[in-house]
Amino acid sequence: MERAFDTQLEDLKRQILVMGGHVEKALTEVTTALLNRDEVRFAGIRDIEKKINDEHIKVDNSCLNLLAKQSPVAKDLRLILSIIKINTDLERMGDQTMNIAYTGRDYLGRKPLVQVADVSRMGEIARRMVKGALDCFVRGDVEHAREILLMDDQVDELKNSVFHQLAAHMKSNPGDVEAGLDLILIARNLERMGDHATNIAEDVIFAETGKDVRHGGLS
């Protein structure tokens, strides 16, 4: 029984890593598509998101079954609850990449704006955050998980900078209002993805230590 439980937990972890890989892939695709003006990459996001959604339901079902049949306690229980939350965050990240793909395709129909480089950088940091958070999850690495929380500040700073630059540009160049709006919405999606990666890092800390670092409980 004990061995079956451990095997099932390992399977669950693997499934979460597969989902994380899809999210990373989707982030790479949307940031590359934006920079290279490559509409085909945007079109491919739907397939990736579908895989994420399929895994999402499978992971939730596996967690429910594990809880019902094994009645885990203490750290095992915290781990499964963390997996349920991480699963939700990864699924929402998939949704966000779909939003980016929709808006991104509109953007490609407009005049390019230089701020797209910063937006793309936001995507790259968000990708590193989700990769880092899931590495921490697998290794139970609390210290590095705390570093992930700090990376979110970089995403937020870039977003603020992009917002201010674009607002000023749109004011002086009303013909670029739509393109600017597209980039602002994409930047907002990426900011949200940074938030989800932050949630994952917080869940890792909780699973490992039992400490709730949300709502300013970092120290």
Which lies closer to its own copies via its Cβ, residue 139 or residue 168?
A: 168
Which lies closer to its own copies via its Cβ, residue 31 or residue 103?
A: 103
Give CA–CA dist 138/161, Å, rounded. Answer: 34
| Shortest Å distance, C-beta 166 to its own copies | 8
Give CA–CA dist 21/100, Å, rounded. Answer: 18
Of 30, 6, 41, 24, which Cα lies nearest the Cα of 185? 30
Which lies closer to its own copies via its Cβ, residue 17 or residue 81?
A: 81
Per DSSP, the three-state class of 112 is: coil
Which lies closer to its own copies via its Cβ, residue 55 or residue 128?
A: 55
Which lies closer to its own copies via its Cβ, residue 32 or residue 70?
A: 70
| Shortest Å distance, C-beta 36 to its own copies | 25
Q: What is the DSSP track for 77-105?
A: HHHHHHHHHHHHHHHHHHHHHHHHHHHHH
Helices (H), the chain: 2-36, 39-43, 45-70, 74-108, 116-139, 142-172, 177-209
Q: What is the contact surface with its own copies in residues (CB under 8 A)?
A: 53-54, 56-57, 60-61, 63-64, 67-68, 71, 73-74, 77-78, 81, 84-85, 88, 163, 167, 170-172, 174-175, 177-178, 181, 184-185, 188, 212, 214-215
| Shortest Å distance, C-beta 115 to its own copies | 14
| Shortest Å distance, C-beta 87 to its own copies | 10
Whose structure tokens read 């094994």? 70
| Shortest Å distance, C-beta 81 to its own copies | 6
Half-sphere exposure of 7 (CA within 13 A, CB side): 4
